[in-house]
Structure 1
Amino acid sequence: MFFLFGVVSGMRDLGERSCMLPCCGMVRAVLTCSFHQFTLFFVPLFRFQKRYFLTCPRCGSIYALSKEEGRRLERDPHAQADPTALSFLRQSGRRCCPHCGCNVEANSRYCPQCGAFLGGNP
């Protein structure tokens, strides 16, 4: 008798949630859950090692959430994430204007769309 079992990794997009992100001031973020899943005869039985992440749709920064905060946000789609529960993981190479959200070059001092000052010597 043969038993086919295995462990596979997966990610699931749980939609947007409200949260004030410190990276660029965006008020919405995409909640994602990564997990490992035990399968028997290619049928998923249970998930383990769940991890939750918030990704900024504007600048691409990624924040990790605690299991408790992630579960709370997963269960209630209208819940707002606690900014103190965010743990910064990495920032994408993109830079964006904090006023209008336009993607700008890394060495730009002014936003090409709205003209806002972005930093550096004027």
Structure 2
Amino acid sequence: MFFIGIFGIESKEKEITIIDNINCNRCKSTVKGHLIKSYDFFHFFFIPIFKWNEKYYLVCENCNEVYGIKKEKGKAIERGENINITYWDLYDLDQKQYGSNVYGKTVCRNCKNEVDGNFKFCPYCGTKID
């Protein structure tokens, strides 16, 4: 059919910036972190029309540990505001629960996507949710 490829839904990740002085809990050092934005978008003729499911992550340059940060802080950094990221702003995506009412979502240990707590297997990668 002719309409295939004209529109669609895709996921994308892009690096926003590099942030100095991130305290990595895994490698126990102060390192640079790469701020990554991940989102889903609808496109028409390869032109993005709208985005949703925006998430921001920091990746430790030393050990590649991935930490999530609040969407508000990620957006502020993306706009160029001078925002400090502290140890308390980072949440560990390896945990099943973020441990907060703000982030009270279940996270897949394999692909690190948020999933509904009722799932027994991750809908993104198929890993069993424990």
Instruction: Tell me the TM-score range normalised by the shorter chain.
Output: 0.5 to 0.7
1:53 aligns with 2:48: no
Question: What is the number of residues matched between the two proteins?
Answer: 90
Q: 1 CA distance for matches of 2:81 and 2:63?
A: 22
AA matched with 2:25: P
Aligned to 1:103: none
Q: 1 CA distance for matches of 2:34 and 2:40?
A: 20
Aligned to 1:16: 18
Aligned to 1:30: 34
Aligned to 2:114: none
Q: 1 CA distance for matches of 2:77 and 2:85?
A: 7
Residues 47-86 of structure 1 mapped to structure 2, 5 A cutoff: 47-76=51-80, 78-86=82-90
Superposed CA RMSD = 2.2
Range 75-84 or range 32-41, more displaced: 75-84
Contact 1:26–1:56 (CA under 8 A) maintained in structure 2: no
Contact 1:16–1:28 (CA under 8 A) maintained in structure 2: yes
Query: Which portions of structure 1, spanning 4 or more consecutive aligned residues, are displaced by more than 3 angstroms?
Result: none
SS of residue paired to 1:69: helix
Cα deviation for residue 78 of structure 1 reads 4.7
Cα deviation for residue 51 of structure 1 reads 0.5
SS of residue paired to 1:20: strand
Q: 2 CA distance for matches of 1:80 and 1:28?
A: 13
Q: 2 CA distance for matches of 1:56 and 1:20?
A: 9
Cα deviation for residue 22 of structure 1 reads 2.4
Q: 2 CA distance for matches of 1:17 and 1:78?
A: 11
Cα deviation for residue 72 of structure 1 reads 1.8
Please, what TM-score do these two structures have when normalized by structure 2?
A: 0.60
SS of residue paired to 1:60: coil
Higher RCO (C-alpha 8 Å, min separation 6): 1
SS of residue paired to 1:27: strand
1:39 aligns with 2:43: yes
Question: What is the identity percentage for the equivalent residue pairs of Structure 1 and Structure 2?
Answer: 27
Please, what TM-score do these two structures have when normalized by structure 1?
A: 0.63
AA matched with 1:75: R
